[in-house]
């Protein structure tokens, strides 16, 4: 015991090894020291030879200074909330890296004077949405909604259809959110049917705005009716339309998904949505609308509290101006193209190909299947895939683990093949 203790190399000696000096500059001294301490303990217990300390430390260091681990999304669900919703395009990633140091986010380099924060992202939004007169970017869709209802209706009524009193996910309930803004929620109509007269009867001097929320994560079918933005806009109070997913213009693949352009054309004063759902960009909340109401939001003190980061602004701009983001590549992935990749994977691992439906997810387009293919492996593989060197998230259906390539970038097919071979051997 004493002998082993004497043979444990000293901490400063270990840390001065070139490989660990480099590791400390990449991961931080504290992280490297913690691993060194643990390996020294392993030497004391006789599990590691003293001359192998440095190489053992190198082997036990974390891969990155962040504990977040990249995973392969083989669930077929494009916007998976637990997996961070939209994966960014390479252009957006590069933009974030470029914006991560000192940048002219709020400075005009020509004149040396202060400039509008995130003006590049705002210009890109207005270019993508000719129907919008003005735009703002905040941290997320919920913040955009809170800002809109607070600025337009604090101390007043917000009229909302009973059919739109929704929980969007993760306990985010619309009524609670509105209550937190100091506006009074006034429900109109019933769960399944709300008519224009219901709104008209409720509009009065106390009305701050009408809120039209897209119930994005469920469908009500049968004896239903609701009132469109155009009819509401004619009632003479500002209409806030929360379209949720951030679809900028109508898309034939998602016929029931409301889009920002249509809501603006119909006369909404303000339209809010997320940046990291169907837009395929970074987490953000977008506010688009008419000049006067949007500037009312911009002047509200809460806007400062919801202000987003320079790297978000950079990624948003790159998503809007750059190539088709991964979210849309996945949604548009054709059965034929998916079949080819899926069959190659199935042959490589000796498994069967089965038809599956993927989904948009993230509380979007609940009724829209995305037909594709999956490799079916034993259910027991799901856990091994998840905890493997390259974590793979698959789906379990009917007692089988289904690996869907829709949201897996083709360049990761090899890594996926290896992960599957490892768990099937
Ligand atoms: C997702 C969603 C929100 C919330 O947006 P976050 O960006 O998640 O904060 C609000 N309203 C609707 C209709 C949504 O679909």
- The CA 145 to ligand 1 mean position distance, Å, reads 9
Tell whether 279 is covered by a domain: yes
Tell whether 411 is covered by a domain: yes
Our answer on whether the CB atom of 423 is closer than 6 Å to any ligand 1 atom is no
Kindly state the percentage of the chain with pLDDT values over 70. Answer: 98
pLDDT band for position 7 (cuts 50, 70, 90): confident
Our answer on whether the CB atom of 212 is closer than 6 Å to any ligand 1 atom is no
Whether pLDDT at 253 is above 70: yes
- The CA 113 to ligand 1 mean position distance, Å, reads 36
Tell whether 134 is covered by a domain: yes
Our answer on whether the CB atom of 274 is closer than 6 Å to any ligand 1 atom is yes
Domain that holds residue 161: 90-323
Using one digit for the tens of pLDDT, what is the confidence trace for 347-362? 999 999 999 999 998 7
pLDDT band for position 239 (cuts 50, 70, 90): very high
Domain count, the chain: 3
**DSSP state for residue 89 in the 8-state scheme:** P
Task: Tell me what pLDDT residue 324 has.
Answer: 97
More confident residue, 303 or 216: 303
Question: Using CA positions, which residue lies closest to atom 15 of ligand 1?
Answer: 244
Using one digit for the tens of pLDDT, what is the confidence trace for 36-86? 999 999 999 999 999 999 999 999 999 999 999 999 999 999 999 999 999
Our answer on whether the CB atom of 275 is closer than 6 Å to any ligand 1 atom is no
Same domain? For 131 and 247 the reply is: yes
Using one digit for the tens of pLDDT, what is the confidence trace for 12-21? 999 999 999 9
Whether pLDDT at 2 is above 70: no
CATH code of 346's domain: 3.90.1150.180
Mutate to test the pocket of ligand 1, among 81, 172, 175 (most ligand atoms within 8 A of CB): 172
Mutate to test the pocket of ligand 1, among 268, 273, 282, 360 (most ligand atoms within 8 A of CB): 273
Using one digit for the tens of pLDDT, what is the confidence trace for 363-409? 777 788 999 999 999 999 999 999 998 999 999 999 999 999 999 99
Using one digit for the tens of pLDDT, what is the confidence trace for 196-220? 999 999 999 999 999 999 987 777 7
Same domain? For 50 and 109 the reply is: no
Q: Span 233-256, mean pLDDT?
A: 95
Task: Tell me what pLDDT residue 171 has.
Answer: 73
Same domain? For 168 and 223 the reply is: yes
Task: Tell me what pLDDT residue 179 has.
Answer: 86
Same domain? For 314 and 332 the reply is: no
Same domain? For 317 and 334 the reply is: no
Kindly state the percentage of the chain with pLDDT values over 90. Answer: 87
- The CA 195 to ligand 1 mean position distance, Å, reads 25
Same domain? For 406 and 293 the reply is: no
| pTM summary value | 0.94
Using one digit for the tens of pLDDT, what is the confidence trace for 143-200? 999 999 999 999 999 999 999 888 877 777 888 888 889 999 999 998 888 999 999 9
Same domain? For 237 and 253 the reply is: yes
Tell whether 67 is covered by a domain: no
Task: Tell me what pLDDT residue 166 has.
Answer: 82
Mutate to test the pocket of ligand 1, among 80, 137, 141 (most ligand atoms within 8 A of CB): 141
Tell whether 66 is covered by a domain: no
Our answer on whether the CB atom of 213 is closer than 6 Å to any ligand 1 atom is yes
Same domain? For 123 and 250 the reply is: yes
Our answer on whether the CB atom of 279 is closer than 6 Å to any ligand 1 atom is no
Whether pLDDT at 223 is above 90: no
Average pLDDT of the chain, as a whole number: 94
Tell whether 65 is covered by a domain: no
């Amino acid at each position: 015991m004493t002998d082993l203790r004497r043979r444990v190399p000293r901490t400063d000696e270990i840390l001065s090894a070139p490989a660990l000096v480099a590791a400390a500059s990449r991961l931080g001294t504290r992280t490297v020291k913690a691993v060194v301490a643990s390996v020294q303990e392993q030497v004391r217990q006789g599990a590691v030879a003293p001359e192998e300390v440095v190489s053992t430390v190198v082997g036990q260091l974390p891969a990155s200074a962040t504990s977040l681990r990249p995973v392969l999304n083989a669930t077929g669900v494009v916007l998976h909330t637990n997996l961070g919703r939209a994966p960014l395009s390479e252009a957006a990633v590069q933009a974030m890296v470029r914006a991560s140091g000192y940048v002219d986010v709020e400075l005009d380099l020509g004149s040396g004077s202060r400039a509008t924060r995130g003006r590049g992202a705002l210009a890109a939004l207005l270019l993508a949405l000719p129907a919008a007169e003005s735009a703002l970017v905040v941290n997320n869709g919920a913040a955009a909604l809170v800002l809109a209802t607070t600025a337009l209706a604090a101390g007043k009524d917000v009229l909302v259809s009973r059919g739109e009193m929704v929980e969007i996910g993760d306990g985010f309930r619309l009524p609670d959110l509105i209550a937190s803004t100091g506006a009074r929620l006034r429900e109109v109509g019933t769960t399944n049917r709300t008519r224009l007269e219901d709104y008209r009867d409720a509009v009065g001097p106390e009305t701050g705005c009408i809120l039209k929320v897209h119930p994005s994560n469920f469908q009500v079918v049968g004896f239903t009716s609701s009132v469109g933005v155009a009819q509401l806009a004619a009632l003479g109070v500002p209409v806030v339309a929360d379209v949720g997913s951030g679809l900028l213009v109508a898309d034939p693949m998602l016929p029931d998904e409301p889009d920002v352009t249509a809501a603006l054309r119909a006369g909404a004063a303000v339209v809010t949505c997320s940046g990291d759902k169907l837009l395929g960009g970074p987490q953000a909340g977008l506010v688009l609308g008419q000049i006067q109401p949007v500037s009312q939001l911009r002047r509200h003190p809460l806007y400062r509290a919801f202000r987003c980061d320079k790297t978000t602004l950079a990624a948003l701009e790159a998503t809007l101006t750059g190539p088709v983001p991964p979210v849309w590549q996945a949604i548009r992935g054709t059965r034929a193209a998916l079949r080819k990749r899926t069959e190659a994977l199935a042959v490589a691992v000796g498994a069967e190909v089965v038809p599956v439906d993927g989904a948009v997810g993230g509380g979007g387009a609940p009724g829209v299947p995305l037909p594709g293919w999956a490799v079916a492996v034993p259910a027991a593989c799901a856990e091994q895939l998840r905890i493997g060197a390259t974590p793979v998230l698959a789906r379990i259906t009917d007692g089988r683990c289904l690996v869907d390539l829709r949201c897996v970038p083709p360049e990761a097919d090899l890594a996926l093949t290896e992960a599957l071979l490892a768990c099937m051997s």
